[in-house]
Amino acid sequence: MKYALCYNPNIDSSKAAMQNLLSILEKYNESVDILDIDNLKKGYDLVFVIGGDGTILKSARFYSEYNTAIFGVNLGRLGFLSQAGGDNLESAVGQILAGDYKIEKRIMLKSGNIVALNDFVVKGEDCSRLGGFLLEINGRFVCEYLADGLIISTPTGSTAYSMAAGGPILTPELDNITIIPICPHTFSARPIVVSSNSKIAISSIKTSNFSVSADGQKSLSVTNKIVVGKSENCANLVLLKDNNFFTVLRTKLNWGTSPANF
């Protein structure tokens, strides 16, 4: 197995975590390449990614093209996509080197040459004004939205911006895409869940341009229409066998817990 360790050299806590992880791997006599998050390279079987969900999302987009597995080590506030932190890092590394893990494939979205693991978010170019959006699915007119924007989300992204906007939570293995209006100006506008084989087209009905972001990181300005569909590549997330989606919901989102017990 060929391993790499990805971190952000501009963040002090990331440097410290990198040195800690490197020392753990050296205990197992494993050699590992050190990568800068802004200078990722291919050619690895598994990449340890140190950072919050944003760092993991960026790495997942890059390594999906090469079918490379990534393992998230959390430095952020929530770390929903990560599997280990400072308190269980050494045991997690031991499990990985022993092969005691699974790789979960997560569907991704694509528009042109831009991919997203969580979501595409479409908003009007003038953020101070209400947007008008026309939605088509597989070439068929669905409806027009007056809203602050629309979120096109994967199951992985269903616990991110989508959830904050009132969208449903989907388990990661589902092969679906969710379309969620952001602050719609009608009570009849609700999230829609469609097959991942669907082609989703969004046009502006008030201005010729609107802004689009992929995973909240890559931004582009679009004229007239954007079409989003399922990417041919998947993200390959390494999961420890004693973790599962519902465990993460309970421990990181306090799912089903009374607010008095937070």
Q: List, by residue number, the catalytic residues.
A: 53
For the chain, what percentages of helix, strand and coil (3-state, to nearest 5) are there?
A: 20, 40, 35
- Residue among 135, 73, 117, 76 at smallest CA distance from 218: 117
| Tokens 């991110």 belong to residue | 160
- Residue among 177, 175, 178, 156 at smallest CA distance from 167: 178
Q: Please answer whether residues 182 and 148 qualify as being in contact, where contact means their C-beta atoms are separated by less than 8 angstroms.
A: yes
